[in-house]
Structure formats: structure tokens, C-alpha cells
């Protein structure tokens, strides 16, 4: 942890300890919510050891490290802030309402909120998704059946419990995070999610457990969190401890049952039917557009906003046709980066590509984006175009992913047709390589390609 602590201290020296309102991470990025993001020089950050790139979006600063290191550096940053290291005041490290009042509006801000709600759930989504996908794969090839047992215990039943439990109760955690994101107590949001999956709903006419879907849980948690905060502000201190929760649950709970649940139900159906119709009508063109524009979404750090859409598609259709299409973006980037490796004579750039390729093949694209293609310009465009070619092919095949959790070649275990999916990956590799090789790049830019700073304002 000595290296991570040194990195954390350097980061805090650059951004200012008192400037940090919240610190969290996704698989590849340290995300800092700052009081004054304009005061931070991203060029100083990108010179720090291990930093692949810096993205500024709204009041949030995203520092890209790659998988593993991002989590360790975040833990080190949190430890530094808790200890109050240095002369600056201690900052509170939690992604709650600290930054809620200062966030700008707009689509990007909304997608950022969605990402904040689902990012903490990714470890459970990945673990459960892999178990579900591998179980389906082994059942498909006959390695596991209903009769397979170990010491008398049915293996298939155990795997179904391990893989399916999180998705069955995911509404609760989505509601909890949504309430926290909108300034309310997490427990109130958790209750909102519980209301949508309560078994006793079947005793109420026109209701059923889970009918509102994940979209309903998202709306319910945000609404109940906002309502509690609003009621509590107006309630006298002498009775707020009892009155605020009571009014929130009684009034807000009724709204959730009779308004949010049906709205969530119709919204879920609209998303599922809309995506299916779009792919049926647009086919390869829609697939090309989706895959071709996904890398810019990753660049902006808003790609996790697609998670609730994937979940609803799996709940409604049994699989998500979007995930295999979007995965082609990463494959196009692998191909484009390989072309750069072949053409460049810069040894440092070659080493960067070699170190970033393994995680790129597994579907984690930020190291290649910020270390290779984006700083060089044309290879990034080639990566998008290569992904578009693969996305068009996947859209024609109508492949779907049975669960979430991984991308890249490992997603083959989770899709409905692994062979066609891997063929799409290969097509994206080849297209990305060919287009990048043909377009070329400015060799003089290679010296600046290790890190990259980007402002999404």
C-alpha cells in the first residue's frame, strides 16, 4: 500500500484535501466530487505515476488508473482524508448529498446520477452475472443437469441460488442508492425498493411483486429520498424524528404503489419493446451507430448509465441484445491499438500498448483509450469505426447476453450464441486494425500518449 498511499497523497496535494467532497471508484477510475473543480490543473494530475488519463465532467474529476489500482488508490485517498493528513480540514468521504446541490443539470448530469446509483452494485452484478452465464453454458453443453449432485446436494439448484439471489433483491439496493443520490436516507430508499417486491402485493388487485422493475425501483428510491428530505426540512425539530419517517412512508409509499409501480411497469415495457423494434427495423445501421458511439460514452464516464437498460431487457426479453453490440466498441479499439503497435517505432508507446492489451481484450477499454488511441487522434476514430463494423454484424445475428458482468472475449460465456459473438469480436479486431493502419497517425504525438486530460463541459 506504500505506492498507493504516495499516489493518494500526491493527488490530494494537487486537488486540495478541503476541496474533496466525495471519493469513490468504478473498475478503472478514481472519481472525486470537488467543491471547486476549476482550481485543479489536470496536467499536474496526469504526470502522477500510474495515471492513464484525467476526465473532468461537471463537478467530478475522474482519474483513470485501470482495474485494481483504481480501487487501491481510492482506499488510500479515503484513508488520507479520514486521518486528516496535512494541514487542510478533513473531508467527508461518501457519495451522498454533499455534491447533490451543486451538480449541473442536463442529460450528462442525469446519466452521471444513474452511474452513481449502479456503480457500487457492479461487484455483485459481475459475480452474479458470471455465475448465471457459466451455469447456462455448462447446462447447454451437458456438463450440469438437474440430476448432478455433490454429496447429495443438487449443484444446479445451488448455482441458481448463488447467481439469482442478487437480481431478485436488486430493487432494494437500487432504491437505497437512488435515495442517497437524491439526498435522502439510504434506509428510506431501501424501503422503497422493498415495497415493489413485497410478496403481499399479490393480495392487492392489479399488483404483483416486481411489477415495477428496476426502473420502478430507481424512481421509487429517488422519490422517497426526495420526499423525506423535503418533509424533514419543514417539520419542527420536536417531532421530526417520528413525523418525517411516518409521513414519508405513508404518503410516499402509497404513491409508489399506485403511481410509481404502474409507471415503472409501462416504462420497462417501453424500453424493452423500443429496443427490440429499433433493432428489428434498423438492424445493422442501428448496431453500427450504437457500437460506434460507445467509446465516446466511455470517454465521458457515462457508460454505466446503460446498466438499468440492460437489466430491464434481461427481465423483459430474457437477454439484452445491446450488451454484445456495445462490446464490439472495445474490440474495435483492440484492433486499432494493434495497428499502432505495428506502425510505431516508439518503444515506450509499444510498451504501453502491450501492458494495456490484456485488459482491453477482456473488455476494459480505458487504458487503451487514454494511453493510446485518444491522444493519437485518428486511431480513436478508427477504433470507433471498427467497433461500428462489428456492431452491425452482431445486430444482424440478434445475439443477446443472458446476464451482465463482463465484456470482451469473456462475454462469450454469457451470450446466446458464443461462436457468432466471437466472430463479431474478430471482425471488429480486423476492421479496427485495417482502418487504423490505413488512417495512420502523427508519430510526433506518441511522446504525449501515456496520459491524456479531457474536459467534458
Under 8 Å CB-to-CB from 410, ≥6 apart: which residues? Answer: 362, 363
DSSP 343-409: H---HHHHHHHHHHHHHHHTT--HHHIIIIIHHHSHHHHHHHHHHHHHHHHHHHHT--BSS-S--GG
Contact 346, 446 (CB under 8 A): yes
Q: Output phi, psi for 168, to 5 deg.
A: -65, -30
The answer to whether residue 26 is catalytic is: yes
Query: Cα separation of 313 and 292, whole Å?
Result: 21
Residue with cell 447429495: 152
Query: Cα separation of 411 and 136, whole Å?
Result: 13
Burial 132-154 (b: 16+ CB within 10 A, else e): bbbbbbbeeeeebeeebeeeeee
Query: Cα separation of 189 and 96, whole Å?
Result: 13
Neighbours of 13 (CB within 10 A): 13
**12, 15, 26, 78: which one is catalytic?**
26
Contact 163, 131 (CB under 8 A): yes
DSSP 395-427: HHHT--BSS-S--GGGGGGTBS-HHHHHHHHHH
Query: Cα separation of 191 and 197, whole Å?
Result: 10
- CA distances for 257 relative to 48, 125, 206, angstroms: 51, 26, 11
DSSP 166-194: HHHHHHHHHHHHHHHHTTS-HHHHHHHHH
Active-site residue list: 26
Amino acid at each position: 500500500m506504500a505506492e498507493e498511499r504516495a499516489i493518494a497523497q500526491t493527488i490530494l496535494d494537487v486537488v486540495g484535501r478541503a476541496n474533496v467532497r466525495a471519493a469513490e471508484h468504478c473498475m478503472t477510475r478514481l472519481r472525486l466530487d470537488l467543491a471547486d473543480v476549476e482550481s485543479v490543473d489536470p496536467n499536474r494530475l496526469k504526470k502522477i505515476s500510474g495515471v492513464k488519463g484525467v476526465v473532468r465532467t461537471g463537478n467530478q474529476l475522474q482519474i483513470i488508473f485501470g482495474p485494481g489500482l483504481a480501487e487501491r488508490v481510492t482506499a488510500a485517498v479515503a484513508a488520507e482524508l479520514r486521518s486528516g493528513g496535512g494541514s487542510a480540514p478533513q473531508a467527508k468521504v461518501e457519495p451522498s448529498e454533499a455534491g447533490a446541490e451543486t451538480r449541473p443539470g442536463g442529460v450528462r448530469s442525469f446519466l452521471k446520477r444513474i452511474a452513481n446509483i449502479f456503480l457500487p452494485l457492479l461487484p455483485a452484478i459481475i459475480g452474479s452475472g458470471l455465475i448465471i452465464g457459466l451455469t447456462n453454458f455448462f447446462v447447454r453443453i451437458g456438463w450440469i443437469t438437474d440430476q448432478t449432485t455433490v454429496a447429495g446436494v443438487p449443484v444446479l439448484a445451488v448455482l441458481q441460488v448463488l447467481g439469482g439471489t442478487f437480481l431478485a433483491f436488486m430493487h432494494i439496493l437500487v432504491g437505497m442508492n437512488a435515495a442517497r443520490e437524491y439526498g435522502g436516507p439510504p434506509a428510506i430508499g431501501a424501503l422503497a425498493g422493498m415495497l415493489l417486491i413485497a410478496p403481499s402485493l399479490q393480495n392487492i388487485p392489479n399488483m404483483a411483486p416486481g411489477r415495477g422493475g428496476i426502473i420502478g425501483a430507481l424512481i421509487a428510491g429517488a422519490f422517497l429520498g426526495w420526499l423525506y428530505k423535503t418533509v424533514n426540512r419543514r417539520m419542527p425539530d420536536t417531532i421530526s424524528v417520528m413525523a418525517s419517517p411516518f409521513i414519508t412512508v405513508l404518503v410516499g409509499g402509497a404513491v409508489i404503489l399506485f403511481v410509481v409501480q404502474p409507471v415503472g411497469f409501462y416504462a420497462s415495457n417501453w424500453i424493452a419493446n423500443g429496443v427490440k423494434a429499433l433493432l428489428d427495423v434498423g438492424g445493422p445501421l442501428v448496431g453500427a451507430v450504437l457500437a460506434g458511439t460507445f467509446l465516446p460514452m466511455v470517454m465521458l464516464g457515462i457508460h454505466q448509465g446503460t446498466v438499468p437498460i440492460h437489466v430491464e431487457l434481461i427481465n423483459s426479453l430474457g437477454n439484452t441484445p445491446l450488451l454484445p453490440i456495445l462490446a464490439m466498441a472495445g474490440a474495435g479499439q483492440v484492433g486499432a491499438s494493434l495497428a499502432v503497435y505495428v506502425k510505431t517505432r516508439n518503444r515506450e508507446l509499444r510498451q504501453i500498448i502491450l501492458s494495456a492489451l490484456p485488459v482491453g481484450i477482456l473488455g476494459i477499454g480505458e487504458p487503451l483509450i487514454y494511453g493510446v488511441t485518444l491522444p493519437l487522434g485518428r486511431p480513436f476514430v478508427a477504433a470507433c469505426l471498427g467497433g461500428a463494423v462489428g456492431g452491425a454484424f452482431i445486430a444482424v445475428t440478434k445475439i443477446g447476453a443472458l446476464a451482465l458482468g463482463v465484456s470482451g472475449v469473456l462475454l462469450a460465456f454469457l451470450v446466446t450464441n458464443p461462436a457468432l459473438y466471437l466472430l463479431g469480436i474478430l471482425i471488429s479486431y480486423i476492421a479496427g486494425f485495417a482502418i487504423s493502419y490505413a488512417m495512420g497517425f502523427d508519430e510526433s504525438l506518441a511522446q504525449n500518449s501515456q496520459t491524456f486530460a479531457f474536459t467534458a463541459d
